Structure 1
Amino acid sequence: MTTSPIPKARNLSIDNIKAVLIFLVVFGHLIEIYVGEDHVLRSVWVFVYSFHMPMFALMSGMFSKAQWDDKNATQLISTVLVPLIGFEIIYEATEFFLKGNLSVYAGLVAPYWMLWYLLSLLCWRLLLPLFSRMQFGVMLAVALSLAGSYSEHAGYFLGVSRTLIFFPYFLLGWKLGANVFSVKKNERLVLSAVIVVAALIGSFMLKNDFDYRWLYGSYSLHRLEMANLTGSMYQLLQYAASTVIGLSVLYLLAQKELGLANIGKRSIYVLVWHGMALIILQETGVLRAIFKHENTIALTVSALVSLAITWVCAHEKTELLTKRFILNPLSWLLIPQAAPISAAIATEQDKPVQQEP
């Protein structure tokens, strides 16, 4: 007589962290158009962008497998490629409906807005079996990132620049594993809090002429006018700062049950749908109305609106409708065995993702 294996319980702490990170993605995208108009908005935005996408890449790596087989390939198609293709069509169709032409991203042969993350994730997952067998895989990924930044062609094209820039974080997450935050020590807690507070204060102390394009990961050193050794050193400093700040934030978030696990496990739906919510708010003039107020009110309202968008996009009804009308039909077209995407996504640690993330 055989017994069925007991399903592995989801890591609620990780789901809580993912919920906070995906909220920050929504919040960052909502305020970013207006960050040049106010020092407070700009400082908050710089603080968020200093760690939130690096840590999303890191957490995606935590739950990625270095083995390559039919099951993993099918899962990669259903959980990454299918949403990428489906929502690329949806967003480009929306652009055409609103403006009469395709988006600027289509002209650059790049994924639409936040969808760059899915294309980069696809590339990272494909590269992982190779880099996982290297002794110094993370260091090589950093070296490739530094070298690629010198290319004048590095940028939005197929998301190449971001794929290279954020790949070291993905690899680091794979090496650290999902239990990296399980060890709880008071001294580590205090140090993490000090680092986060210092980073927040430092964001407010930055001068207004700070070139925040560094935080996007989509600009070559030539476009940043630093295609020299100084530019490479700046990149290395940014890697170090983002890693230290990001891991400190995640460690603090992992200390308590935040009650956000349901949002975290559906973060993929927030990633792919929040852009539509922001397009609606922008087209209807709601965003302009929010940022006509002074910064305290604007920040508060922005946070509340971001919370609402995150909650709606992560709702189980949104998940159900997205699977039924978009993901399942497209999955059926792409996967011969008709493996249902609903089952694949249910067992996957959802990964996430301006006009720039």
Structure 2
Amino acid sequence: MSHRHPAAVTPARPASPETAAPPKPAGQRDSFFDNAKYLAIVLVAMGHAWEPLRDGSRAVSALYMVVYAFHMPAFIIVSGYFSRSFDASPGRIRRLVTGLAVPYVVFETAYTLFTRWTDQEPDRPVSLLDPLYLTWFLAALFIWRLTTPVWRWVRWPLPVALVLAMLATLSPAIGNDLDLQRTLQFLPYFVLGLYLKPEHFVLVRRRAARILAVPVFAGALVVAYWAVPRMSGAWFYHRDSAEELAAPAWYGPLMTLATFGCSLVLVACFLAWVPGRRAWFTALGAGTLYGYLLHGFVAQGSKFWGWYEPAWVHRPLGEIVVTVVAAVLVTALCTPPVRRLFRWVMEPDMAWAFRRDARHQARERNAVRA
């Protein structure tokens, strides 16, 4: 999930020197987005670590609900923003295959073999059509990015994406193939990212936005604490239809719009707090896909290994320890040594599998002649 800063449109009236940095030179990474990706992946790991702690803890359940309302939407919006230049050219298709399709096949197989052991299911089949655990995001991003040229030409892309997401909640028959239910329900966030511009991110990084984000997040926690015994947080997972959540059919489209609005507000608050300057963790933003896919083995295995069985883990001190361990673990998995170790599977070159682009070959021949 690496990115380069696209050609930016400098706002006419920047908010402040701190938030409105000059455009990055071509090829230079943007610290703000690397910081956002790193902080988002830390929240993903924390959310997975909190999952076994929710029973008996309303506070943890409320915090879990709030985090799940915005951490994946934030990831997906940023992914859409950096997919704007995807044009289905040979080079981009090649990167799509090597950067998403190949890791999907490898990790889908690896997670299936791993869960055969942890879940004591030796006959569990390896199915590339039924994404297991975290691999749904790779399949979804592959589909979203492949359809990018379509969304660039549609007259009303976001309304159309929202309608598709709303209709998906009415269709339990969509099934689990490539986790299409979740792919459709998260689609509006990706499409929104495609149409965001640099000035939109400058807007949410103003000082006023940072200040306003404090009471908004506090209010979200209060509402979530109230909602825990009254509603299912699964609406924010976007993986089930209304019928599968034991709700009337008309709830689906309504909850699609409600969760989309809530998530956008919280994503804006999250981005308002993301530092724009280079920090000690900025470089780790380039390795978030590594942290995302690798930490799942620990999250899955922790229950099998009995890490949550001691009573102290379910007390406040234990919950804090679990949170810190999750953050440290995913941070370590985003570091350069881990990336070098797993680059052969996460970012394979695979030049042998592709024909060389004729235009690229022509440019090379012209360069030699010159």
TM bucket normalised to smaller: 0.7 to 0.9
User: What are the residue-to-residue correspondences of 1:241-260 with 2, within 5 Å?
Assistant: 241-254=262-275, 257-260=278-281
Residue aligning to 1:237? 258
With over 3 angstroms needed to count, the CA separation of the structure-2 counterparts of 1:162 and 1:188, relative to structure 1, is same
Q: Distance in 1 between matches of 2:268 and 2:109?
A: 35
Q: Distance in 1 between matches of 2:92 and 2:49?
A: 34
Q: Is the Cα contact below 8 Å between 1:92 and 1:102 reproduced in 2? A: no
User: What are the residue-to-residue correspondences of 1:287-306 with 2, within 5 Å?
Assistant: 287-289=308-310, 292-306=312-326
TM-score where L is the length of structure 2: 0.82
Q: Does 2:228 match 1:210?
A: no
Q: 1:314 aligns with which of 313, 330, 334?
A: 334
Q: Distance in 2 between matches of 1:50 and 1:160?
A: 20
Q: Distance in 2 between matches of 1:288 and 1:108?
A: 33
Q: CA deviation at 1:298?
A: 2.6
Alpha-carbon RMSD: 2.4
Residue aligning to 1:101? 122
Q: 2:36 aligns with which of 17, 28, 31?
A: 17
* SS, match of residue 201 in structure 2: coil
Q: 2:217 aligns with which of 191, 196, 202?
A: 196
* SS, match of residue 287 in structure 1: coil
Q: 2:353 aligns with which of 335, 343, 351?
A: 335
One-letter amino acid matched to 1:71:
G
With over 3 angstroms needed to count, the CA separation of the structure-2 counterparts of 1:322 and 1:213, relative to structure 1, is same
More displaced stretch, 298-307 vs 120-129 = 298-307
One-letter amino acid matched to 1:32:
E
Q: Is the Cα contact below 8 Å between 2:102 and 2:346 reproduced in 1? A: yes
Unmatched tracts of structure 2, length 5 or more: 1-24, 358-370
Cα deviation digits, residues 131-175 of structure 1 (max 9, x gap): 111121111010011112111223533210110011100111111
Q: Which has the larger radius of gyration?
A: 2
Residue aligning to 1:351? none
Q: Distance in 2 between matches of 1:166 and 1:230?
A: 17
More displaced stretch, 85-94 vs 181-190 = 181-190
Q: Distance in 2 between matches of 1:328 and 1:198?
A: 41
TM-score where L is the length of structure 1: 0.85
Q: Distance in 2 between matches of 1:182 and 1:35?
A: 36
Unmatched tracts of structure 1, length 5 or more: 1-5, 340-357
Residue aligning to 1:56? 75
Q: Is the Cα contact below 8 Å between 1:84 and 1:115 reproduced in 2? A: yes
Q: CA deviation at 1:277?
A: 1.6
Residue aligning to 1:134? 154
Q: Distance in 2 between matches of 1:102 and 1:248?
A: 45
Q: Is the Cα contact below 8 Å between 1:263 and 1:315 reproduced in 2? A: yes
Q: Is the Cα contact below 8 Å between 2:169 and 2:252 reproduced in 1? A: no
Q: Distance in 2 between matches of 1:202 and 1:187?
A: 23
How many residue pairs get aligned? The number is: 330
Report 1 or 2 for greater relative contact order, CA contacts < 8 Å, sequence distance ≥ 6: 1
Q: Is the Cα contact below 8 Å between 1:19 and 1:264 reproduced in 2? A: yes
Q: Does 2:88 match 1:68?
A: yes
User: In percent, how many aligned pairs have the same letter?
Assistant: 22
* SS, match of residue 181 in structure 1: helix
Residue aligning to 1:225? 246
Q: Distance in 1 between matches of 2:301 and 2:167?
A: 39
Residue aligning to 1:44? 63
* SS, match of residue 55 in structure 2: helix
Q: CA deviation at 1:328?
A: 6.0
Residue aligning to 2:21? none
* SS, match of residue 51 in structure 2: helix
